[in-house]
Amino acid sequence: MSHDSTMQSGQRIDGVAVARAVRDDVAREVAALKAKGITPGLTVVIVGEDPASQSYVKSKEKASVEAGMKGETIRLSEETPQAELEALIDRLNADPTVHGILVQSPLPKHMDANTVVRRIAPNKDVDGFHPVNVGKLLIGEKDGFAPCTPAGVQELLVRYGISTTGKDVVIVGRSNIVGKPMASLLMQQGAGGDCTVTVCHSRTRDLAAHTRRADIVIAALGRPESITGDMIRPGAVVIDVGISRVDDPTDKRGYRLVGDVHYESAAKVASHITPVPGGVGPMTIAMLLKNTVRAARQAGA
């Protein structure tokens, strides 16, 4: 999948295929760890009945088991007191068979997500949201965990042979889940890094002036189809992290899924572009498994 400058514009970056390759690598590593008597284990905790969260959690458990890992889901009712969730996390922190702990968001209104994230042991925080892991990412320590979505974006760039060294990258969105960690990853030294990074957000003046000079645009602002083809420099790489439902009476479901980028217009000018769905999305779970296997390897080291 190497990058060839003679390609026609708008090569689709196939996140499903890359995620499968990452998961195959993970399965091989799991087999090697099992041979040493270590079975990597991921425990996902979900509080309440949010339907989107329920389907995410099912796919995480299924992906873990397919890779040969121990995948466990603990379901708590919406009314669970925060102290009970914290006690559960303490128990999982102390359990040597659990290498990765993930508390599915969103949490019910009466819970404080920050306190819950800080309760997870940093060496088991495979979501990469604990302040210790956030700090390790920023200073370039390799034994911490990067959040799965930005790590997945970086993996797509590397596996497609898209050179990042010295490239101008514009990230649209400054969330703690995508925008900020994405900037940290891309400015590190080494493969998939060494970028000159600009982070744009809702207060940015003249967003298009920034995106038009970028070699790589990463859209993660949560506004459907707000980045259009006229905002993209010809030949740029476009990575779309957004996913939204928009009403579509022509679709039998009554809606369709779109990203933050207007795909049709951007694909005409971009050299590479991720579709939605089927781009960044599948990478998130693949990187979660990759983080969990590394957590198991570091715990057994």
Residues identified as active-site: 60, 104, 127
Percent helix, strand and coil across the chain, each rounded to 5? 40, 15, 45
Sign of CA dihedral 21, 23, 27, 29: positive
Classified as helix, coil or strand, 94 is: helix
Can you tell me the distance from the alpha carbon of 82 to that of 76, in angstroms, rounded to the nearest whole number?
11
Can you tell me the distance from the alpha carbon of 178 to that of 186, in angstroms, rounded to the nearest whole number?
12
Classified as helix, coil or strand, 65 is: helix
Cα 156 to the chain's mean position, in Å?
11
Classified as helix, coil or strand, 256 is: strand
Can you tell me the distance from the alpha carbon of 88 to that of 93, in angstroms, rounded to the nearest whole number?
9
Q: Where are the alpha helices (DSSP H) in 109-247?
A: 113-119, 131-139, 148-159, 179-187, 207-211
Q: Which two tokens stand for residue 183?
A: 């900037």
Amino acid at 276: V
Tell the residue number behind the tokens 């922190």, with chain if given.
Answer: 93
Cα–Cα separations (whole angstroms), residue 46 to 55, 101, 106, 190: 11, 11, 9, 36
Q: Which two tokens stand for residue 43?
A: 């425990």
Render the burial of 9-39: b for 16+ CB within 10 Å, e for the rest.
ebbebbbeebbeebbeebbebbeebeeeebe
